[in-house]
Amino acid sequence: MALAKTLMVQGTASDVGKSVLVTALCRLFARKGLRVAPFKAQNMALNAYVTADGLEIGRAQGVQAEAAGVPACVEMNPILIKPTGEQTAQVVLLGRPLGNFSARAYRAELHERAWAAITASLRRLREAFDLVIIEGAGSPAEVNLKDRDLVNMRVAEHADAPVLLVGDIDRGGVFAAFVGTLACLTAEEARRVAGFVVNKFRGDKTLLEPGLRWLEARTGKPVFGVLPYLSDLAIDAEDSVVLERRVGGGPPWPASRRDFLDIVVLVYPRTANFTDLDALEAEPDCRVRYVSRPAALGDPDLVILPGSKNTAEDLAYLVDTGLAEALRAWFGRGAGTLVGLCGGFQMLGLRIADPHGVESARGAVAGLGWLPVETELTPHKRTVRTTAVITLPLPGWQDLDGQRVSGYEIRMGVTRKAGPCHAFLRPDGAVASGEETGLLGAVSRDGRVWGTYIHDLFHNDRFRRRFLNGLRVQKGLPPVETGVSIARRKEEAFDRLADAVAEHLDLSRIGRLVGVSL
């Protein structure tokens, strides 16, 4: 059986634009009628994606599959590593968690098993698709890790893939990064590099030309293109590097601009699945601020506690930094609504117990106490696509009652009532919340505090707009209908990205690498 051609994108460092370029190439090749699959052997990220069959992969590969117009599958990212602490991470193999490992233990105990899963997954993709576009991780020049490489040049060699090497000129030193990366490779690995892509360029390209000519003369390899600095793409980010840039993105909302909704997202060290909030940023009457210090909180209309990969430790962070105290002072002023998503939902409860040491060694810890619920973390991880119905028959929120929503769950905990509160969500279908799965969400009796396990809840256009209009009415503002469609916005973003890359990249030369006319 003939296997699909492969093309690989590697980078001189993390966050140089590998994921974005793979996303663009998936879209461009799919436009030519090819059935394209993204592939990343091993991904380290706290933003995850649940496939239709309930398996967990990196968010980037799920998004790349969407750009290619194909269903995401676990073979696209056979290994996902989710940091839980400074020295440990949860290892997800073929969509299911194996447990928490130190870097040393992972390399010693799981290396060969991981490589077997990688090669089998890649073969299955190459049997099912016309082209596989492979993404590397970090840099192939990490010489201290090359003997146990699972994701860069070893994969390129196994797949016989030509490599595009991407560098970020915005951070400076891009020519040194290109030349230095090649210098750290073996002669055979360096020959596999087909050429360079300069990314995130701002300014007059003619001023860059002498450097490009020098690079080509120095290395004997072509520059395939210079991509501009692209912002506001409306495409889900892969990891927390992007989140770090959002923190501190502005002061508290001034009183003169009270015609907008001021939304604060609290950021902690192990924030997970922060793409849940991207849909709110799309609304023109919202300003979303990412806050990690008490002084920046202000008096927002809505505060959101996002997901966490280590709920107890991130809860301790809120207390230790004074954010929890600032949150109580804000809530006591009675001006806003408080929402928790997944780990944030757990934090809003009375107690979080971790008897099995799933996330930390803290055992049982007190929650923030805004919802009368208790959570027990369990070794079993629930990953599933979910549909549910909002149950919120409270004054001011009647428009939300009965709304059908969809999303996904990624959790290792069961939350149950420990006092009077509303369920907020009930499963839509045969499977009901019970002792095994617990609550999907809960809301305080006055409706000011609620939490849920459903990720991407705000990606439901009708729910999002009605919820925001409820906040507007509480604030004395009239409701608005903006007509924002997250699905349409994402499709348009894929096309804008593909168009921008097509304009600045030598696609005919890239097509020849894989025998396709672009």
Count CB atoms within 10 A of the CB of residue 149. Answer: 20
Q: What confidence score (pLDDT) does residue 433 get? A: 55
Beta bridge mates, 7: 133
Active site residue 158: no
Confidence of residue 518 (pLDDT cuts 50, 70, 90): confident
Q: What confidence score (pLDDT) does residue 362 get? A: 79
Q: 23: burial class by Cβ within 10 Å (0-12, 13-18, 19+)?
A: buried
Q: 323: burial class by Cβ within 10 Å (0-12, 13-18, 19+)?
A: buried
Q: What confidence score (pLDDT) does residue 252 get? A: 59
Q: What confidence score (pLDDT) does residue 440 get? A: 92
Active site residue 342: yes
Q: Is 36 helix (H, G, I), strand (E, B) or coil?
A: strand
Q: What would the mean pLDDT of 194-213 be, rounded to a whole number?
A: 94
DSSP state of 254: P
Q: Tell me the pTM.
A: 0.89
Q: Which amino acid is at 405?
A: V
Segments in 7-94 forming alpha helices (H):
18-31, 59-68
- Residue 427 and residue 431: Cα distance in Å, rounded? 7
Is the pLDDT reported for residue 42 higher than 60?
Answer: yes
Pairing mode, strands 56-58 and 48-50: antiparallel
Q: Is 495 helix (H, G, I), strand (E, B) or coil?
A: helix
DSSP state of 6: E
Is the pLDDT reported for residue 113 higher than 70?
Answer: yes
Q: Is 318 helix (H, G, I), strand (E, B) or coil?
A: helix
Catalytic residue of the set 26, 73, 286, 342:
342
The more confident residue out of 396 and 373 is 373
Q: What would the mean pLDDT of 358-387 be, rounded to a whole number?
A: 89
Confidence of residue 247 (pLDDT cuts 50, 70, 90): low
DSSP state of 459: G
Catalytic residue of the set 73, 286, 421, 455:
455
For the stretch 396-435, pLDDT in tens is 777 888 889 999 999 988 999 998 888 888 887 655 555 5
Round the average pLDDT of the chain to a whole number and report it.
90
Confidence of residue 263 (pLDDT cuts 50, 70, 90): very high
Among 335, 259, 243, residue whose Cα is nearest residue 298:
335
Q: Tokens 């349409």 identify what position? A: 488
Q: What confidence score (pLDDT) does residue 434 get? A: 58
Residue positions counted in the chain? 518
- Residue 90 and residue 92: Cα distance in Å, rounded? 6
C-alpha 162: how far from chain center: 27
Lowest-confidence pick of 102-106, 365-369, 431-435: 431-435
Is the pLDDT reported for residue 350 higher than 60?
Answer: yes
Is the pLDDT reported for residue 473 higher than 70?
Answer: yes
Q: What confidence score (pLDDT) does residue 230 get? A: 84
* Helix axes 486-504 and 59-68, enclosed angle (nearest 10): 80
Q: What would the mean pLDDT of 210-230 be, rounded to a whole number?
A: 95
**Which domains occur in the chain, in start order?**
5-229 (3.40.50.300), 240-486 (3.40.50.880)
Q: What confidence score (pLDDT) does residue 427 get? A: 84
Q: What confidence score (pLDDT) does residue 245 get? A: 54
- Residue 9 and residue 135: Cα distance in Å, rounded? 5
Confidence of residue 255 (pLDDT cuts 50, 70, 90): low
- Residue 427 and residue 452: Cα distance in Å, rounded? 12
Q: Tokens 């299911």 identify what position? A: 96
- Residue 235 and residue 23: Cα distance in Å, rounded? 9
